[in-house]
Amino acid sequence: MPQEAQLAAHSLPIAWPLGAQQQGEPGVARGRIVDVRRTTAHSATLTVQPASGWGGFLAGQSLRFAVPVDGTWHLLRTFPASSQHTAQLEFTVTRRGPVSEYLITQGRRGLPLLVGPAAGTFVLPLPRPQRLLLVSAGRGITPALSLLRTLCDEGHEGDVTFLHYCHAARDLLHREDLEQLERHPGVRVERRYTTAHGRFDPQHLDGLAEQPVYVSGPETLVDAVTAVTARWAEPTLSEISAPTMPDNETIARS
């Protein structure tokens, strides 16, 4: 059965295996891939257009997408890198299972999928803080990038420092996006390649104390950063990106 027919065969909302409180969640909507960019050898950045009526998301929240692979619907949990003020969703997938592998190698414009409701508390407060520190590593760049894009779209006039860690320059996700965003007044982006600069060190936060902190990435980074910022008066919000988060949870067979 063609994937477009598979999508049409499912009535909405569907029963997502996210816990009893979300069964039959009305926030599920149809969507379609409108752009694919192969960003590194092991990742791709996809842009999705949800159907009208989808409930939207707040920057920093995660989503679940249902993807039809060989006649079976699978769930992929990921974080949009897009601003919460845009109609389209941009997210990056890296190889960690059959669904991400499928999207990286077979993802194309027009591919249908389902978009689930947003979840998570890794979000910006109201009113927006005048100063903000973002720290991320690896795939953790995506929720942090969503926060930064949202602030820039809102014309944020304060100062935002963004520290991002990755193995080497060739592994940097969203390279062009970072170059564009750091042109925004008040935004400073520091790229730290662990092969050249080493891993996170508390000294990297010198001069950055007493401002809200958002850290996203592996648990080792989150623990190391919060060990420093716990002494600060301002709050620290964290989001852990598991190194082997499964992406092949089955919903139903078409």
Instruction: Kindly report, residue by residue over 80-93, the tens digit of the pLDDT.
Output: 999 999 999 998 88
pLDDT of residue 77: 84
> What does the alpha-carbon distance between residue 216 and residue 241 come to, in Å, rounded to a whole number?
7
Domains and CATH numbers, the chain: 3-119 (2.40.30.10), 131-240 (3.40.50.80)
Average pLDDT score over the chain: 84
pTM: 0.84
Instruction: Locate 174 and state its tokens.
Output: 């969203």
**Token pair in block for residue 195:** 């092969």
Single-letter amino acid code for the residue at 75? L
pLDDT of residue 27: 74
Sheet bearing 112-115, strands edge to edge: 89-94, 43-50, 29-40, 112-115, 63-69, 72-78, 249-253
38 has a pLDDT exceeding 80: yes
Q: By 3-state DSSP, what share of the chain in percent is helix, strand and coil, each rounded to 5?
A: 25, 35, 40
Q: What is the pLDDT of residue 171?
A: 87
- Higher per-residue confidence, 21 vs 153: 153
Q: What average pLDDT does this structure show over 43-53?
A: 91
Instruction: Determine the average pLDDT of the residues in 100-106.
Output: 90
Q: Is the pLDDT of residue 15 over 60?
A: no
pLDDT, residue 247, reads 54
23, 61, 127 from 51: Cα distances, Å? 20, 19, 30
Looking at per-residue pLDDT, the higher value among 233 and 154 belongs to 154
Strands (E), the chain: 29-40, 43-50, 63-69, 72-78, 89-94, 112-115, 131-137, 159-166, 187-193, 213-217, 236-240, 249-253
Residue-wise burial string across 168-178, b where 16 or more C-beta atoms lie within 10 A, e elsewhere: eeebbbbeebb
- When pLDDT is cut at 50, 70 and 90, the band that residue 150 belongs to is very high
Higher-pLDDT residue of 65, 40: 65
In sequence order, the β-bridge partners of residue 186 are: none
Task: Identify the residue with better confidence: 17 or 227.
Answer: 227
- Which residue from 4, 236, 238 is spatially nearest to 108, judged by alpha carbons? 4
